[in-house]
């Protein structure tokens, strides 16, 4: 039995010198050391030996298996390192290779302009209304009636406003001013809100006009609000949005829902006020309409005009962006030409 053991050990050593990979080592371990391996077969026969021999042969068998285990382990470590080196060589990273360009999207200039304007008003104490109080599909009631717009006003004409087929009085809102009515119906003064959104008009499209565009409506209703408050807030807005250096002018105007009413123009940045295609030769671009909320409008929503007063305004987001970034054509915002959009990263 002793010679048998030594023979197996010799064979195993032989196999081990020929082994060249972790796979080979696994095979050798299975052949000699596993439960069904050659040594175990011998160990099973130990129980039939006389006590004396069993001890000697048992010890020898253990010694041999330990030796084999440790040779296999050190070979395993050696092969593992070699195989890893080969693998790492193959996967070597060249960190000097130029990276792959992954184009990244960014916020549209009209969205960032809206966000900027809204945050100026938030800093002035206004909160934002962009919910069910400011729907794009409106009824005549909110878009015109409650804003004191007379039945025969030309803005109500199909020529100017897009009506839907849902019902005769349902339209795409032509102004964000309807949000004023929704807000005042749902909240008592003091009210201080801005409401950004898209509006639609059946316009002839040119450098200044598109058939949809974006407005930000503003409303401030409380006791003792005066035209001085209106001027103060809007001048402060202009100063913060443009920086103080832009020439602006207040013009008196008319809107059915405000009395008195005004408009604010900012000098055209494309021609420095000399007159060009964008400002149709006037040197100025109108950025907003505003005024003191008409008592009829307050009465309509159940606010007593003898106790409360307020001012409102509606500004054009495209115009404000054009004047800040010297964009000479409103259509550029909607063509989705990446050469234009990429400038606003
Ligand atoms: N809704 C007007 C427009 O689209 C702008 C406007 C003027 C809004 C005066 C107001 C306002 O709130 O008080 O031309």
Which residues are registered as beta bridge partners of 310? Answer: 221
Query: Tokens standing for 310?
Result: 């307020």
Which residue blocks in 95-145 are alpha helix, DSSP H?
A: 109-123, 140-143
Whose CA is closest to atom 10 on ligand 1?
A: 313
pLDDT in tens, 9-27: 888 889 889 988 899 999 9
How remote is the CA of residue 323 from the centroid of ligand 1, in Å? 19
E strand or H helix that includes residue 136: none
Is 73 in the same domain as 171? Answer: no
Q: Is residue 102 situated within a structural domain?
A: no
How remote is the CA of residue 255 from the centroid of ligand 1, in Å? 7
Is 214 in the same domain as 177? Answer: yes
How remote is the CA of residue 290 from the centroid of ligand 1, in Å? 6
What does 146-215 look like in DSSP terms, one character per residue?
A: GGT--TT-GGGSTTTS-B-SS-TTEEE-S-TTHHHHHHHHH-PSSEEEEEEEEEE--PPP-SS--SEEEE
Determine if ligand 1 sits within 6 Å of the CB of residue 291.
yes
Q: Is residue 100 situated within a structural domain?
A: no
Q: Is residue 99 situated within a structural domain?
A: no
Confidence of residue 41 (pLDDT cuts 50, 70, 90): confident
pLDDT in tens, 228-238: 999 999 999 99
What total number of domains does the chain contain? Answer: 2
Confidence of residue 47 (pLDDT cuts 50, 70, 90): confident
Is 78 in the same domain as 193? Answer: no
Determine if ligand 1 sits within 6 Å of the CB of residue 313.
yes
Determine if ligand 1 sits within 6 Å of the CB of residue 234.
no
Q: Are 165 and 186 in contact (CB under 8 A)?
A: no
Q: Is residue 198 situated within a structural domain?
A: yes
pLDDT for 223 equals: 98
Confidence of residue 148 (pLDDT cuts 50, 70, 90): very high
pLDDT for 90 equals: 86
Q: Is residue 41 situated within a structural domain?
A: yes
The CA distance from 337 to 40, in Å, is 78
| Domain edge (last residue) among 63, 90, 117 | 90
- The 8-class DSSP code of residue 138 comes to E
Q: Is residue 146 situated within a structural domain?
A: yes
Determine if ligand 1 sits within 6 Å of the CB of residue 216.
no
Mean pLDDT of 162-174: 95
pLDDT for 145 equals: 96
Is 198 in the same domain as 51? Answer: no
Which CATH number fits the domain that encloses residue 281? Answer: 3.30.930.10
State the residue range of the domain holding 226. 109-344
Q: Are 183 and 129 in contact (CB under 8 A)?
A: yes
Is 164 in the same domain as 264? Answer: yes
Is 201 in the same domain as 302? Answer: yes
Is 21 in the same domain as 141? Answer: no
Query: Over 90: is that where the pLDDT of 104 sits?
Result: no
Query: Over 80: is that where the pLDDT of 158 sits?
Result: no
pLDDT in tens, 106-127: 999 999 999 999 999 999 999 9
Is 186 in the same domain as 274? Answer: yes
Is 141 in the same domain as 10? Answer: no
| Domain edge (last residue) among 57, 90, 123 | 90
Q: Is residue 98 situated within a structural domain?
A: no
The CA distance from 20 to 253, in Å, is 94
Cis peptide before 190 (omega within 30 of 0): yes
E strand or H helix that includes residue 84: helix 51-90
- Taking alpha carbons only, the member of 32, 28, 10 closest to residue 20 is 28
**CB neighbour class for 94 (10 Å; exposed up to 12, middle 13-18, buried from 19):** exposed
- Please give the share of the chain, as a percent, with pLDDT higher than 70: 100
Q: Which of the pair, 266 or 37, is modelled with greater confidence?
A: 266
Sheet holding 248-255, edge to edge: 127-128, 191-200, 212-222, 309-316, 284-293, 258-267, 248-255
The Cα angle at residue 16 between residues 13 and 21, in degrees rounded to 5 = 175
| Domain edge (last residue) among 90, 118, 135 | 90
pLDDT for 184 equals: 97
Is 210 in the same domain as 278? Answer: yes
- Taking alpha carbons only, the member of 309, 312, 314, 313 closest to residue 189 is 309
Is 125 in the same domain as 217? Answer: yes
Ligand 1 atom with the smallest distance to the CA of 180 is: 12
Whose CA is closest to atom 3 on ligand 1?
A: 175
The CA distance from 135 to 44, in Å, is 88
Confidence of residue 175 (pLDDT cuts 50, 70, 90): very high
pLDDT in tens, 189-248: 999 999 999 999 998 998 888 999 999 999 999 999 999 999 999 999 999 999 877 899
Is 152 in the same domain as 272? Answer: yes
- Taking alpha carbons only, the member of 210, 225, 243, 237 closest to residue 332 is 210
Q: Is residue 231 situated within a structural domain?
A: yes
């Amino acid at each position: 039995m002793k010679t048998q053991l030594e023979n197996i050990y010799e064979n195993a050593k032989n196999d081990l010198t020929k082994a060249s990979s972790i796979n080979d080592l696994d095979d050798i371990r299975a052949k000699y050391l596993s439960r069904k391996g050659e040594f175990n077969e011998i160990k099973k026969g130990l129980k039939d030996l006389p006590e004396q021999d069993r001890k000697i042969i048992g010890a020898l068998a253990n010694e041999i298996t330990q030796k084999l285990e440790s040779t296999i382990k050190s070979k395993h470590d050696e092969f593992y390192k070699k195989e890893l080196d080969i693998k790492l060589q193959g996967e070597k990273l060249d960190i000097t290779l130029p990276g792959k360009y992954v184009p990244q999207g960014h916020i549209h200039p009209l969205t960032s302009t809206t966000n900027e304007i809204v945050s100026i008003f938030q800093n002035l104490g206004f909160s934002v209304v962009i919910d069910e109080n400011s729907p794009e599909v409106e009824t005549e009631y909110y878009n015109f009636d409650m804003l004191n717009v007379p039945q025969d006003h030309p803005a109500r004409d199909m020529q100017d406003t897009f009506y839907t087929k849902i019902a005769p009085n349902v339209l795409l809102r032509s102004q964000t001013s309807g949000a004023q009515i929704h807000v005042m119906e749902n909240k008592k003064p003091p009210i201080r809100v801005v409401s950004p959104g898209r509006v639609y008009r059946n316009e002839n499209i040119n450098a200044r006009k598109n058939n949809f565009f974006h407005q930000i409506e503003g409303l401030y209703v409380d006791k003792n609000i005066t035209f001085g408050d209106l001027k103060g807030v809007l001048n402060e807005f202009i100063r913060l949005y443009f920086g103080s250096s832009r020439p602006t002018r207040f013009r008196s105007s008319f809107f059915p829902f405000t009395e008195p009413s005004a408009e604010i123009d900012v000098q055209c940045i494309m021609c420095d006020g000399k007159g060009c295609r964008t400002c149709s030769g006037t040197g100025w671009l109108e950025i907003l309409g505003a005024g003191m909320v008409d008592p009829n409008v307050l009465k309509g929503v159940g606010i007593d005009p003898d106790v409360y007063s307020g001012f409102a305004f509606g500004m054009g987001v495209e115009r404000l962006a054009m004047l800040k970034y010297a964009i000479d054509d409103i259509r550029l915002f909607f063509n989705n030409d990446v050469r234009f959009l990429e400038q606003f990263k």
